Amino acid sequence: MTANFRIGGGLVDSGTPVGFTFNGRRMTGLAGDTLASALLANGQRLVARSFKYHRPRGIFSAGSEEPNALLQLHSGAHCEPNTRATVTELFEGLSARSQNHVGSLDLDIMAVNDLLSPFLGAGFYYKTFMWPAAFWERVYEPLIRASAGLGRLSGAEDPDSYDKGFLHADLLVIGAGPAGLSAALAAGSSGARVILADEDFRMGGKLNADRCEVDAEPGAEWAARAVVELSEMANVRLLPRTTVYGAYDHGVYGALERLTDHLPPGSAQSPRQVLWRIRAKRAILASGAIERPIAFGNNDRPGVMLAGAVRTYANRFAVACGRRVAVFTNNDSGWQAARELDARGVRVVAVIDSRDGPPPEPVGQAKIVMGGRVVDTRGRKGLSRILLASGRSIAADCLAVSGGWNPALHLTCHLGGRPAWNESISAFVPGANLPPGMSVAGAAGGSLGLAAALHEGHAAALAALEHLGRAPTRRPVAAAHDEPVSGSALWIVSESRPRAWIDLQNDVTLKDVRLSHQEGFRSVEHLKRYTTLGMATDQGKTSNVIGLAAMASLTGRSVPETGTTVFRPPYTPVPIGAFAGRSRGRDFRPVRLTPSHAWAEERGAVFVETGSWIRAQWFPRPGETHWRESVDREVRMTRQSVGLCDVTTLGKIDIKGRDAGAFLDRVYTGTFSALPVGRVKYGLMLREDGIAYDDGTTARLDTHHFLMTTTTANAALVFRRLEFTRQCLWPNLDVHLTSVTDGWAQFSVAGPNARSLLERIVDAGHDISNDAFPFMACSALTVCGGTPARLFRISFSGELAYELAVPTRFGDALARRLMAAGEEFDAVPYGTEALGVMRIEKGHVSGNELNGQTTALNLGLAAMVSKKKDCIGKVLSERPELNGDDQFRFAGFIPVDRSEALDAGAHFLAKGARAVTESDEGWMSSVAYSPSLGHHIGLGFIRNGHKRIGETVRAWNGVRGRDIEVEVVSPHFLDPAGERLRA
């Protein structure tokens, strides 16, 4: 049986009960409740255990600043830890559990920590877990990890989906309280594109929480009408349940919209949350203010709450937070809370004002104590009594505390702004250095009154309209009165003897701040890190300023002199899933498929990711049990007869223009302007610093038309660099670039029967005989009865080989046709592994060799750097440090014991040399088992390699613990004279 703390009225629907469970107990709330208000309505004061001391904790606030009421929602894979009950919208069937206790919430055996608190002060684990060192990772770390954190993750994959999106606006209004609504109405009615975002599910902010009037009607009704009016404006977009969590460069704001968190888990089709990037020309921060507590002895008991929250629960949620409510305040808003509670029929037993002087007014039957201070409380699992400095004791089950208001200025600091101190409200307010385009209105700027909020919101909108070049609105400002807001600074009740909590979430007490100061931490940033003050999910929203005040009093400085820590995004927690969005699992990133992908799949190919491409790695045949069997067979059969490989992934760039040849001369080390039409040439590109960058062949298809190929990996990079040089370095050249990578399906046809195979599909009239179409020839022709094609006689494998390209739409059909026509030759498809083996056998360099550290000289390609002309990278490639003797030279390697395997990444050492950097003579870059030679072969770089053929060195691999002897040989293992490819 639960107590009923529900009072009448409010903005909840008393006709719509909502069932939910807390720790398995069935409870009933009302539509419009938060989980927190529903728990309070059911008399559930104890809802959590504190982080370190496992102290009983209750609901403290009514908003996103909540430090205590962090609950675990849902079960199974939907389980969500550390959810603030104060911002969780109640729905039928919601199941919530308390967290961070061993045993029940009522009898948490870890509460023993509270008894040990004298030993568990700030930094205790830095001092405690020091000895012996052998315990650090095996004992201490698991121990600390086990006690860290609050809730528990399910360990299952998140079953929800998340999305991202982009929004654009003239004006983003952050917060839909009086200032935000006023701003949105003014800007919206002028026709500007407005986005109004609020973290609450009901817009209105304090208008829903206070008993106030706007335009002579109750504030909540005015807010509801304003929201309806805004929703009818086509130029205004309302984003309730949306937290603008960060301000970023160029007017970009991050916002998290919670689309389905208020619905039973798994019941909605749409993604759970959307992470919006909002690009706004102007922004108005109208995020209101957060009430701050006062630190006094045992101020963390369930029932000690922020006064504004107690008022909100009564006015908006129709819940009394206690049967006997006392108010402790240092400012006028505490009195407002007391008055409104009394008016709502909540019994106020006392109002204790730390200020001296006459009481402003009587509040029902409440005792009024001016100049009073609460020094201690009683009641282990819920407040029962408060003790005043005067020695007086008052029975109360709820203490509503108001220590003044801190503007929620966090977003003003996200781009480096620092807040300024405002003495009149004893709080930090936004400084002068706001994010570009942002202005602040209402309580967020330190103007705590209602009329001021409405006026400032309106004025900020007018200013924004002027910036946007729009006509001002004629709409008048809504009328209201400013409530009294004066107060005096009181942070900590110095007469308190028991522990006084500053940061409820992290269990940081005044004693911890003292200890930190005593141990020499003077900067607030150090204080924060040493004590954890202001960390974790609430980011110190209620604790920050009193922590600074405590620090200030210890150092004898003022709060502004002490300064604040830096506020960074996100304002409130954002699930990692929302940041990931759709980019998870199979959708982690987009993939590119080759034109023969479906065909390769049908043949059972094993695929590999190469960049974003998915390529066939090898094509196993029935009976083959190891990849090497498949790859060796593909190599052997290609070298014996003919093989077919999809090489579409190589970058293809169409280069056209009167100066296309001259352009190529500048980007390649070789001369291309003299290349005859119908010929292909191998080209090497250097970076500006002279290091080799990319290679490939370029064909001259017409006088002013070249087709460049790049490596698969560098295709986009090369295109971008070429565009840069074309547009920025040589705008006077008549040359245009077009990527045609995806437009042509390209197949390598390699092996002694390659020509015979091609002759079966090339249309009559195209002579591809060795005489008519020799090595390095190219031509546009047609195949298969008129399909346009391009044929290049180039060879990566070292065989008689061609690359045949057709428009991509014909790629699948061409692969099948080539295989059909190749049947009489036992043609095989081969994948990237066989491709790699054959290029290593031939001694061609690839990505492993063009690794961003090697020069043309290192690669054995120095002769390709033309002496007769300049090109990018040429001057710096001539640096003495990159030339002369003792450079790394490209070479081949074979194991002295031919049965040994080689390791890529092995380093070369002289026999007897120690395996230290000073002895390093080079490295193995590529290795393969050569089915043609019957043993392993390797390519690599070794100092002066070209003069060391026949020498024996060690290939040392510290990772795999291998150290074998290898012989330095020519990198061209197969057909060094190139007779095959010219056959």
Which residues of this chain interact with other proteins, rule CB under 8 A? 161, 163-168, 193, 269-271, 274, 277, 279, 582, 587, 589-594, 612-613, 648, 654, 656-658, 704, 732, 734, 736, 738-744, 760-761, 763, 783-787, 806-814, 817, 820-821
Task: Tell me how far apart the alpha carbons of residues 88 and 249 are, in angstroms, rounded to a whole number.
Answer: 31
Alpha-carbon distance 276 to 278, whole Å?
Answer: 6
The neighbour count for residue 125, using CB atoms within 10 Å, is 14
CB of 31 to other proteins, least distance (A): 22
Q: Where are the alpha helices (DSSP H) in 668-750?
A: 715-724
E-strand stretches of 206-354: 213-214, 217-218, 236-239, 242-248, 252-258, 273-285, 289-291, 304-306, 325-329, 348-353
Q: How far is the CB of 128 from other proteins (least distance, A)?
A: 48
Distances from the Cα of 667 to the Cα of 44, 277, 724, 728, 874, angstroms: 74, 39, 11, 14, 10
Min CB(743)–other proteins separation in Å: 4
Give the number of C-alpha atoms closer than 13 A to the C-alpha of residue 860, restricted to the C-beta side: 21
For other proteins, which is the closer residue by CB, 598 or 949?
598
β-sheet bridge partners, residue 762 = 783
Residue 570 preceded by cis peptide, ω within 30: yes
What are the helix (H) ranges across 190-277? 219-231
Q: Of 260 and 509, which CB lies nearer to other proteins in the complex structure?
A: 260
Of the two residues 118 and 731, which places its CB atom closer to other proteins in the complex? 731
Q: Is 354 helix (H, G, I), strand (E, B) or coil?
A: coil
Give Cβ neighbours of residue 124 (< 8 Å, ≥ 6 apart).
none
Q: Give the rounded distance of the alpha carbon of 785 from its chain centre.
A: 53
Q: How far is the CB of 261 from other proteins (least distance, A)?
A: 16
Other C-beta atoms closer than 10 Å to the C-beta of 953 total 22
**Which residues lie across from 642 on neighbouring strands?**
none
**Closer to other proteins by Cβ: residue 163 or 967:** 163
Q: 165 vs 604, which CB is nearer to other proteins?
A: 165
**Residue 535 or 819: which CB sits closer to other proteins?**
819
Token pair recorded at residue 784: 């298969």
By C-beta, is 421 or 579 nearer to other proteins? 579
User: Are 35 and 71 spatial neighbours (Cβ–Cβ below 8 Å)?
Assistant: yes
Minimum distance from residue 240 beta carbon to other proteins (Å): 17
Q: How far is the CB of 708 from other proteins (least distance, A)?
A: 13
CA 447/CA 469 separation, integer angstroms: 27
Here the tokens at position 673 are: 């302007």
Nearest distance from C-beta of residue 657 to other proteins, angstroms: 6
Rounded-to-integer distance, Cα 385 and Cα 618, Å? 78
Q: Give 24 or 590: the residue with its C-beta nearer to other proteins.
A: 590
CB of 820 to other proteins, least distance (A): 7
Quick one: 248 or 929, whose CB is closer to other proteins? 248
Q: Which is nearer to other proteins, 275 or 574 (CB)?
A: 275
Shortest separation between residue 814's beta carbon and other proteins, angstroms:
6
Instruction: State which residue, 279 or 962, has the beta carbon closest to other proteins.
Output: 279
Residue placing its CB nearer to other proteins in the complex, 567 or 719: 719
To the nearest whole angstrom, how small is the minimum distance from the Cβ of residue 194 to other proteins? 12
Instruction: Quote the CA–CA distance of 460 and 663 in Å, as a whole number.
Output: 55
Taking the C-alpha atoms of residue 291 and residue 306, their distance in angstroms, rounded to an integer, is: 7
Residue 500 pairs in a beta bridge with 297
Nearer to other proteins by C-beta: 623 or 785? 785
CB 277 → other proteins: shortest distance, Å? 8
Residue 241 CB, nearest distance to other proteins (Å)? Answer: 16
CA distances (Å), origin 438, targets 12, 172, 903? 35, 9, 59
Closest approach of other proteins to the CB of residue 270, in Å: 6
End-to-end CA distance of the chain: 95
User: Strands 778-783 and 787-792: what pairing?
Assistant: antiparallel
What is the CB neighbour count within 10 angstroms for residue 881?
Answer: 7
Amino acid identity at 880: P
